[in-house]
Amino acid sequence: MKRQSITILGSTGSIGCSTLDVVARHPDRFEVFALSGHSRVAELAEQCRQHRPRVAVVAGPSEAQQLRTLVGADTATEVLYGPQALEQIASAAEVDTVMAAIVGAAGLPSSLAAARTGKRLLLANKEALVMAGELFLEAVRTGGATLLPIDSEHNAIFQSLPVGFDYGLRECGVRRIVLTASGGPFRDTPIKQLADVSPDQACAHPNWVMGRKISVDSATMMNKGLEVIEAHWLFGVEAERIAVVIHPESVIHSMVDYIDGSVIAQLGLPDMRTPIAHALGFPDRLVSGTGMLDLCRTGKLSFQDPDLQRFPCLRLAYDALQAGGSAATVLNAANEIAVAAFLDGRLRFDRIASLVEAVMTRMPVVHLDDLPTVAGVDGEARSRAREQLEARAGH
Ligand code: NAD
Ligand code: MG
């Protein structure tokens, strides 16, 4: 069997490291073509020593210089930098598979480049689908790419749908899709105390170890909101047929509810190496390094409806999906600014939702005809979010 040549965009992040962990278990199946680490140069240098990619990409010239010094004559890795280089390693002719694991809107151009060039595209970067879903899917179709979801919920749904399910298919006996959510670290915190929570508290997720942006999104449940929009695009399901259930144990990763009353779910330990290995091997199953789920040890599984009072971001995401067009692009951009401000100590945790809502209400919903339109809306939403931050400073 020919080995799959793989590019990992965002290899130094949480998903990137888990991907390399799985890849390294199967040297007969995979070879690493390229890695990217933006500003985490020391980690990337270590990965280059271990995995010997042909190319490594960082943010800019000074990071490139640092990386060259760190890897030295040790490896034959070519060091490139900048967004263009990310697109290059995502679309290179030698590459079969691309893991898109850059966080936020910064991951859109390279994910799209992989889609357009017909790669097997393992998509962790949910923001790309949220901000430009229709254009993204069009690129997948015209490029002939195979899109495999890495987000644990969407991977679970993919596994629970009939074999051969085609993206965009509306009817195959599915009544609804049920996304599970842990509820994050503040599921039971008295709402009043949410004004004072710190970035470290917000990032201390009870079940998953993840990057800081997605950890904050999990704490506000914006993450689940983004995932509702992601599910809409991936599976062609409308908002009314996507339900969210809080399931604090994170054992059931999501479910598909069929018209005959059957509910098919995927279960497992909360370890991203499972969905990563599923997508890397699909349709084969690969050893992932994840432990075995023992339900007798897990004990009770519990479920509850999400409280939209506590988690207004979830409501905003449903609103954006209903509004269509550019609304989700605005939601995503404003959220990225709000989360960065919270992580920097410039915005209270309980103001993230109101900042996003303020930007959403101030921007008209337009149709996203092309990528420049997406970039324009994204940029404008970011400036409006920054204006909101300034207006609120000191309040
Ligand atoms: P992370 O913060 O741990 O890693 C992000 C990666 O992106 C790093 O390699 C970083 O160097 C790179 N990066 C950051 N800014 C960049 C920029 N401007 N340009 C280029 N590269 C940049 O994040 P993560 O937790 O691994 O999440 C990555 C993506 O996967 C996110 O979209 C997240 O929503 C999604 N995801 C993560 C998990 C998880 O368990 N961590 C689960 C589901 C989905
Ligand atoms: Mg998820």
Compute the radius of gyration of the chain from its Cα atoms. Answer: 20
In whole angstroms, give the CA distance from residue 294 to residue 269: 9
Closest CA to 278 of 122, 83, 130, 131: 122
Would you say residue 169 has pLDDT above 60?
Answer: no
Look at the alpha carbons of 142, 146, 151, 152 in this order and tell me if their dihedral is positive or negative.
Answer: positive
Which residue spans within 4-66 are E strands per DSSP? 4-9, 30-38, 55-58
Dist. CA 272 → ligand 2 center (Å)? 9
* Single-letter residue type at 161: L
- Collapse the DSSP code of 369 into the 3-class scheme (helix H, G, I; strand E, B; otherwise coil) and give the result: coil
Mean pLDDT value across residues 49-53: 96
- Could you tell me if residue 237 is left (phi over 0), alpha (psi between -120 and 50 degrees) or otherwise beta? beta
Mean pLDDT value across residues 14-35: 98
Dist. CA 200 → ligand 1 center (Å)? 18
β-strand partners of 265 = 255
Specify the ligand 1 atom closest to the Cα of 17: 26
What pLDDT band is residue 45 in, cutting at 50, 70 and 90?
very high
Record the tokens describing residue 226, joined without a space: 């983004």
Dist. CA 152 → ligand 1 center (Å)? 14
Would you say residue 394 has pLDDT above 60?
Answer: no
- DSSP 8-state secondary structure symbol assigned to residue 304: B
95 CB neighbour count, 10 Å cutoff: 22
The pTM is what?
A: 0.97
Q: 43-52, 71-80, 94-103, 352-361: lowest mean pLDDT where? A: 71-80
160-196 burial, b at 16+ Cβ within 10 Å, e below that, comes to bbeeebebeeeeeebebbbbbbbbbbbbeeeeeebee
270 pocket-lining for ligand 1 (C-beta < 6 Å): no
Would you say residue 395 has pLDDT above 60?
Answer: no
Q: What is the DSSP string of 151-186?
A: SHHHHHHHHHSPTTPPTT---SSEEEEEEEE---TT
Q: What is the DSSP string of 77-119?
A: PEEEESHHHHHHHHH-TT-SEEEE---SGGGHHHHHHHHHTT-
Which residue spans within 133-289 are E strands per DSSP? 146-149, 174-181, 242-246, 252-258, 263-267
Would you say residue 55 has pLDDT above 80?
Answer: yes
Which-ligand-closest: CA of 207?
1
Closest CA to 165 of 184, 142, 180, 148: 148
In whole angstroms, give the CA distance from residue 13 to residue 168: 30
- DSSP 8-state secondary structure symbol assigned to residue 207: S
214 pocket-lining for ligand 1 (C-beta < 6 Å): yes
Dist. CA 90 → ligand 1 center (Å)? 16
Would you say residue 207 has pLDDT above 90?
Answer: no
217 pocket-lining for ligand 1 (C-beta < 6 Å): no
* ipTM reported for the complex surpasses 0.90: yes
Dist. CA 268 → ligand 1 center (Å)? 22
What's residue 170's pLDDT? Answer: 57
pLDDT one-digit tens code per residue, 312-354? 999 999 999 999 999 999 999 999 999 999 999 999 999 999 9
Burial, 319: exposed, middle or buried (Cβ in 10 Å; 0-12, 13-18, 19+)?
middle
What's residue 69's pLDDT? Answer: 94
In whole angstroms, give the CA distance from residue 69 to residue 45: 9
Who wins on pLDDT, 333 or 165? 333
Dist. CA 321 → ligand 1 center (Å)? 23
How far is the CA of 278 from the CAs of 23, 151, 152, in angstroms? 12, 11, 10
pLDDT one-digit tens code per residue, 224-256? 999 999 999 999 999 999 999 999 999 999 999
Which amino acids are annotated as binding site, given as ranges?
12-15, 125-127, 151-153, 182, 205, 211, 218, 223-224, 227
Which-ligand-closest: CA of 332?
1
Specify the ligand 1 atom closest to the Cα of 272: 40
In whole angstroms, give the CA distance from residue 348 to residue 343: 9
Pocket test for ligand 1, best of 11, 15, 67 (most atoms within 8 A of CB): 15
Mean pLDDT value across residues 71-86: 91
151 pocket-lining for ligand 1 (C-beta < 6 Å): yes
Mean pLDDT value across residues 3-7: 97
What pLDDT band is residue 1 in, cutting at 50, 70 and 90?
confident
Mean pLDDT value across residues 352-380: 97
In whole angstroms, give the CA distance from residue 198 to residue 193: 11
> What mean pLDDT, rounded, does the chain reach?
95
What pLDDT band is residue 204 in, cutting at 50, 70 and 90?
very high
370 CB neighbour count, 10 Å cutoff: 10
What pLDDT band is residue 195 in, cutting at 50, 70 and 90?
very high
Of all protein residues, whose CA lies closest to atom 32 belonging to ligand 1?
A: 125
What's residue 168's pLDDT? Answer: 47
Q: Which helix (H) or strand (E) holds 120?
A: strand 120-123
In whole angstroms, give the CA distance from residue 56 to residue 35: 5
